[in-house]
Amino acid sequence: MSYAGPEFDPAPPPRPRRGRRALIAALVVALAAAGVAVQRVVTGGPGDGGRADAAPSSDSRGTASGSPTAGLKSPSPDGDSAPSVSSTARPPAGSGPLRGKVVVIDPGHNTGNAAHTAEINRTVRIGNGGKECDTTGTSTDAGYAEARFTLDVSRRLRTLLEEQGATVELTQDGDRPWGPCIDERARIGNEAKADAVVSVHADGSSAGARGFHVILPGTVTGGGADTRPIVGPSRELGERIAGNFVRATGSAPSDYVGDGTGLVTRKDLGGLNLSKVPKVFIECGNMRNSKDAALLTSGKWRQKAAQGISDGIVGFLGG
């Protein structure tokens, strides 16, 4: 599959920045015209706009309060910092092209799952069978946990989508000791009546395998599941994300699943089977591959990953 062409959205044009002198001059003129005596104009340096390694994050399912980690920064393996919580940096709700749209982001796994094996090992129904509530996820050979990766990318992604005016909810924001179970993750998206849901993951395949892939729901009916209404729109969402992910990150589609398309259809994932709204998973890379691991542990690359996923969602939602 080619990821170039009209089916994928062009990169958004960079926002022009006004220089310090121009900003001061504009402020002086405006104040003088209003008859206000100008004594001093103080300006700050340009912000990072949520890019690079300083993407602001928030907590407690899309709000900026209530989390025990609020206001804290956690180190990442390459010296980057995870996005810090900043309620004042959050854009006004519904003030962009995605105004009125609801997106649910599902950070895969939970760093606390390993300490709650009894809870995550219990079986839940997924429509066409049963599966464990959740798993611990994988990690790089150096011990960087998939759950840390998924939460970091999800927070960055939330910031980017909120800048576009979307209402964004996370299924977990480091605010619960384990889980949630896969059936609850699906239910959160359903109850939010989300226009799109993306579950963020990283794979744990063999060391020689590389690349990302997007997992699409197959047709599953029965046992409380009926994916028929969402198979088509979920594929469109997945194609948009795959194409934009290539462009934003420079990563290639998986060389071990998907026949080079970066798209895989599965019927054994409860988070997809039980969804009533368009939903996909993205495996952003293989944590067991040294080259992929170098990317996954880089804050700068994680920001690119979040940007690629965001661009795909925005394209799907027509923003």
The one-letter amino acid code at 243 reads: G
Q: Which two tokens stand for residue 204?
A: 């744990």
Residue bearing tokens 């609850």? 184
Q: With 0-12 CB in 10 A as exposed, 13-18 as middle and 19+ as buried, what is 174?
A: buried
Which residues form the catalytic set?
Answer: 283
Contact 238, 278 (CB under 8 A): no
Q: Which tokens belong to 15?
A: 């926002």
Environment class of 301 (CB within 10 Å of its CB; exposed 0-12, middle 13-18, buried 19+): buried
Beta carbons of 80 and 300 less than 8 angstroms apart:
yes
Q: What is the rounded distance in angstroms from the CA atom of residue 162 to the CA atom of residue 191?
A: 20
Taking CA atoms, 142 is separated from 36, 62, 118, 284, 294, in Å, by 60, 31, 26, 18, 10
Residue in this structure with the two tokens 């995550």, named with its chain if needed: 120
Q: Give the angle 92-198-214 at the CA atoms, nearest 5°.
A: 140
**Smallest Cα–Cα separation from 128: which of 190, 218, 201?**
218
Q: Classify burial at 15, counting beta carbons within 10 Å of its beta carbon; exposed 0-12, middle 13-18, buried 19 or more.
A: exposed
Spatial separation of the C-alpha atoms in residues 282 and 242, rounded to whole Å: 9
| Nearest-5° Cα angle at 196, 195 to 202 | 170
Amino acid at 107: P
Compute the distance between CA of residue 94 and CA of residue 87 in angstroms, rounded to an integer: 16
